[in-house]
Amino acid sequence: MTTSAGVTEDGPTRVLVVDDVPDNVEILHARLASRGYEVVTATNGPEALEAVKVQAPHLILLDVMMPGMDGHEVTRRIKDDDSLPFIPIILVTALTETEDVVQGLESGADDHISKPYNFNELEARMRAMLRVKRLQDELDLKNRELEHANIRLKKLSVTDGLTELFNHRHVHEQLHDEWERSRRTGEPVGVAMIDLDKFKRINDTYGHPTGDVVLYETARIIKETAREIDMVGRYGGEEFIAILPNTDEQEAAAFAERVRAAVEEHLYRDGAVEIRMTTSCGVASSQASQADTPEELLKAADEALYEAKRSGRNRAVRATQVETPQPQA
């Protein structure tokens, strides 16, 4: 919807007029302002670039023949600036040779008009360029929306919906990546398996919504205990996993102990229901366990977790503390 030539439902159309001849600037300013355009002026290239930097116009009418920096150079600089939106540039020139027109278009200009020009023709070209800008702006908006949607989709594909931690599949991918990095650098990678003790009774006694509260709050505790470089995921059910880069077994056990203590101290609330929980943890490190694959490292941490459960729960056990059964003679 347009209320006058230079005014749309979004407000006045802002036009930057660039010309080193004051009379030309004054005439264009008066004619465009009378048609409802918001007019900004500049008398040379550097002024034009500064005006664009302060507030990008919707369209630029740019004289080609200016001392110092000509219109072609101004056009190139504006079009090469990726931080700017699409701004149509109409070159206004007294040069009518084909090679001059070609040079203007190759510099990035979107249209040209020769002096002396008819104002009705100039405004028709302006309207055409502004239609192109609206279409380009709509396309840019759709592309941004698509990019954001893809980012959200990517996040959903790697995230557990309840706890907002990484999901089982993505944790495995991260462990493999971290294992390869560990092999290249020689730095250890630690793994902590963390399981809520007697979680089934929570669902049986209070229902799954309360169980979901316990899972979510436990996830927050683990995430807050971890470092920024650590990768925390929901391994399945009430079991969580933390992948700890550049972490030996002692450091991994210290992390698990901090999680265990924080969970034990935390009071879970779901309405009037108040619950205390504990966790059992099993930790392993690539160097201490002498694992040859990421799967073997996971197995070592899982066996340590089983030992934590077997020996009384609410504790963290290292893989090297688990006795390996000796083969029968």
The dihedral region occupied by 245, where left means phi > 0, alpha psi between -120 and 50, and beta the remainder, is beta
Examine the residue annotation and report whether 238 is marked as an active-site residue of this protein.
yes
Q: Which of 178, 217, 238, 307 is catalytic?
A: 238
Q: Which residues contact 18 (CB under 8 A, 6 or more apart)?
A: 41, 42, 43, 44, 45, 47, 48, 60, 61, 62, 63, 66, 71, 74
Q: Look at 176 and 328; give whichever has higher pLDDT.
A: 176
Query: pLDDT tens across 290-313, in order?
Result: 788 999 999 999 999 999 999 999
Query: pLDDT tens across 183-217, in order?
Result: 999 999 999 999 999 999 999 999 999 999 999 99
Thinking of the domain 168-321, which architecture would CATH place it in? 2-Layer Sandwich (3.30)
Is the pLDDT confidence value at 12 over 60? Answer: yes
In DSSP terms, 113 is beta-bridged to 92
Extended beta strands in the chain, E state = 2-4, 7-8, 11-12, 14-18, 38-42, 59-63, 89-93, 111-114, 189-196, 231-236, 239-245, 267-270, 273-276, 279-285, 316-318
Query: pLDDT tens across 67-98, in order?
Result: 889 989 999 999 999 999 999 999 988 766 56
Task: Give the chain's mean pLDDT.
Answer: 90
Is the pLDDT confidence value at 100 over 70? Answer: no
Query: pLDDT tens across 277-290, in order?
Result: 999 999 999 987 77
In order, the DSSP letters of 287-298 are: HHHT-SSHHHHH
Nearest residue to 68 (alpha-carbon basis) of 47, 89, 54: 47
CB burial of 263-275 (b: ≥16 within 10 Å; e: otherwise) equals beebebebeeeeb
Percent of the chain exceeding pLDDT 70 equals 93
Q: Give the separation between CA 87 and CA 43, rounded to whole angstroms.
A: 19
Is the pLDDT confidence value at 169 over 50? Answer: yes
Q: Give the separation between CA 156 and CA 6, rounded to whole angstroms.
A: 44
pLDDT of res. 104? 67
Q: Is 37 helix (H, G, I), strand (E, B) or coil?
A: coil
Q: Give the separation between CA 63 and CA 9, rounded to whole angstroms.
A: 29
Sheet with 279-285, edge to edge strand ranges: 231-236, 239-245, 189-196, 279-285, 316-318
pTM of the shown model: 0.65
Let me know if domain 2-148 sits in CATH 3.40.50.2300: yes
Distances (CA, A) of 121 to 90, 115, 172: 12, 11, 65
Is the pLDDT confidence value at 18 over 90? Answer: yes
Instruction: Say how many residues make up the chain.
Output: 329
CB atoms within 10 A of CB 183: 11
* The residue type at 166: F
Is the pLDDT confidence value at 50 over 70? Answer: yes
Is the pLDDT confidence value at 160 over 80? Answer: yes
Is the pLDDT confidence value at 1 over 60? Answer: no
∠ CA 38-43-46, rounded to 5°: 100
pLDDT of res. 101? 67
pLDDT of res. 114? 84
Q: Look at 269 and 104; give whichever has higher pLDDT.
A: 269
Domain spans of the chain? 2-148, 168-321
- 143: buried, middle or exposed (CB in 10 Å: 19+, 13-18, 0-12)? exposed
pLDDT of res. 326? 43
Highest mean pLDDT among 120-129, 156-165, 261-270 belongs to: 261-270
Nearest residue to 162 (alpha-carbon basis) of 121, 113, 204, 210: 210
Question: Are 73 and 42 contacting, i.e. CB atoms less than 8 angstroms apart?
Answer: no
Nearest residue to 196 (alpha-carbon basis) of 210, 177, 186, 182: 210
